[in-house]
Amino acid sequence: MTSPLPAGLRERKKAKTRLAIREQAIRLFEEQGYAATTVDQIAEAAEVSPSTFFRYFPTKEDVILTDDYDPLIVEAIKAQPPGVSPVKALLNGMKSVFLQFSAEEWESERRRQRIYQAVPELRARVMNQTVMAVDMLAAALAERDGGSADDLSYRVVAGAIVGVVVAITPPGSANGFGPEDLGQLEEALNILEANFRLR
Amino acid sequence: MTSPLPAGLRERKKAKTRLAIREQAIRLFEEQGYAATTVDQIAEAAEVSPSTFFRYFPTKEDVILTDDYDPLIVEAIKAQPPGVSPVKALLNGMKSVFLQFSAEEWESERRRQRIYQAVPELRARVMNQTVMAVDMLAAALAERDGGSADDLSYRVVAGAIVGVVVAITPPGSANGFGPEDLGQLEEALNILEANFRLR
DNA sequence: CCATGTTTTGACAGTAGCTGTCACTTCAGA
DNA sequence: TCTGAAGTGACAGCTACTGTCAAAACATGG
């Protein structure tokens, strides 16, 4: 009865169902592989009908693709004062979100990443999301120091930063990105930072 | 990029069939949209059976995804002397390939791009290919001046460069990348170059 | 506590991408 | 011209995904 936010019984049940589907899906993906697992199996394991599955997730891919904290990072970046360099702004933004992760959140995230790193079609979708983050980052950087998001300079800086972030998580990284990798992220961004003059 | 190697009749016929499938597919995609076009329709238009279609292209997506000149660009980059900066090496490499395009090749490439820019699932695959180009570029840059491809610096530089290239071709660009866009590419890379100190 | 309307759900049918198999045709090389 | 290899087409089957519709679960006003 002591639930944090969800007011109605309906909302609570929905959240529960969604969680159950995702958990069972990830479990089955780990056990049998992504392609070998059918939506029917997931639905049965989560004790819902196949049609209900698609009501919660538009496609089978979306079970893995959903990522809740990208917007949080964007907010954290915008909150950085204008004096901070673009690279440091992103680094601080990412750290401020990731450092608040609980052990369970890290573990869950790591499982998610292991799956999509291993499945090309999922990885493609995630990479696309990441590429689209260039737009968000460029806008955030522009807003932060009152410039125009259309300014090519912002896009270049944002592209370079995102490119570096992507570059340090190659397809082969089997264990996913964990707290122990924050160091390499910082190192890579420092290399970039050390060679940037802009702003 | 015309291969004057019609060795056997079989090879010629295969190339012809492949070309016919791709041409009809692109035509139908333009006319009816990607999702609304079935493989059966493409097969019929190209006068082959549906099973033959899948023998030439593993998936419907592959009709659009195939890109022949990425390896050419990599070669052109490796050919750049070590004195040239990484950014200039990539720019020169890309130019040396693109500037040899005929009007037909540009037009074909533009149609291809228009389609995958409009279809999220295709765009995702292309973006993933692009991200994987970071590895190739890092390796090419390392090989060019005799360093190790594992050196984080190379990955950072490669990531930044690829990030910038991606950043200037946003999802909305409806007309695709054409010869008239080479200028903006050069401009963006110059902005990056102007702010790079490394090497 | 009950009657109301709204939301959620499950069953069913249908489309299309993709895979595998098998026999038939077409071509290349000796 | 013969023989083996490669290309082709028809067919069957699985699964992701969509749409419809009626039943069940729930929220709300009386």
Are the Cβ atoms of A152 and B187 closer than 8 angstroms?
A: yes
Are the Cβ atoms of B124 and A120 closer than 8 angstroms?
A: no
Give the alpha-carbon dihedral of B19, B20, B21, B25, to 10 degrees. 100
Q: Name the DSSP letter for residue A5.
A: S
Give the tens place of pLDDT for each residue, A117-130: 999 999 999 999 99
Q: How far is the CA of B20 from the C1' of C17 (A)?
A: 21
Q: What burial class does residue A131 get, using C-beta atoms within 10 Å of its C-beta: 0-12 exposed, 13-18 middle, 19+ buried?
A: buried
Measured distance CA(A163)–CA(A191) in Å, rounded: 13
- What structural domains and CATH numbers belong to chain A? 9-60 (1.10.10.60), 67-194 (1.10.357.10)
A15 has a chain B CB within 8 A of its CB: no
Cα dihedral sign for A136, A137, A138, A143?
Answer: positive
Measured distance CA(B197)–CA(B193) in Å, rounded: 8
Are the Cβ atoms of B128 and A134 closer than 8 angstroms?
A: no
Structure tokens given for B55: 């023998």
Task: Answer yes or no: are the C-beta atoms of A67 and A172 closer than 8 Å.
Answer: no
Cα separation values, B188 from A39, B57, B99, B184, Å:
45, 35, 18, 6
Residues 167-186 of A with CB under 8 A from B: 167-168, 170-171, 184
| B167 Rama class: left (phi>0) / alpha (psi -120 to 50) / beta | alpha
Residue ranges of chain A with per-residue pLDDT less than 50 = 1-6, 198-199
CB neighbourhood size of A183 (10 A): 9
Measured distance CA(A152)–CA(B107) in Å, rounded: 26
Measured distance CA(A123)–CA(A120) in Å, rounded: 5
Q: Which of B150, B156, B129, B4 is nearest to B74 (CA)?
A: B129
pLDDT the model gives residue B194: 81
Q: How far is the CA of A125 from the C1' of C15 (A)?
A: 25
CB within 8 Å of B98: residues ≥ 6 apart: B179, B182
Measured distance CA(A86)–CA(A70) in Å, rounded: 17
Task: Answer yes or no: are the C-beta atoms of A56 and A21 closer than 8 Å.
Answer: yes
Measured distance CA(A74)–CA(A156) in Å, rounded: 17
Measured distance CA(B106)–CA(B104) in Å, rounded: 5
Q: Which of B106, B97, B65 is nearest to B78 (CA)?
A: B97
Q: Along the 199 residues of chain B, how does pLDDT read in single tens digits?
A: 434 444 566 677 888 899 999 999 999 999 999 999 999 999 999 999 999 999 999 999 999 998 778 888 989 999 999 888 899 999 999 999 999 999 998 998 899 999 999 999 999 999 999 988 899 999 998 988 888 888 898 999 999 999 999 998 766 666 778 888 899 999 999 988 887 664 4
Q: Name the DSSP letter for residue A129.
A: H
Residue to mutate among A125, A128, A168, with most B CBs inside 10 A, is: A128
Specify the nucleotide whose C1' lies closest to residue A41 (CA).
D15
pLDDT the model gives residue A5: 47
CB neighbourhood size of B193 (10 A): 16
Q: What is the CA radius of gyration of chain A?
A: 19
Residues of B in contact with A188 (CB under 8 A): 152, 155-156, 159
Q: Name the DSSP letter for residue B8.
A: S
CA distance B127 to chain A (A): 6
pLDDT the model gives residue A3: 33
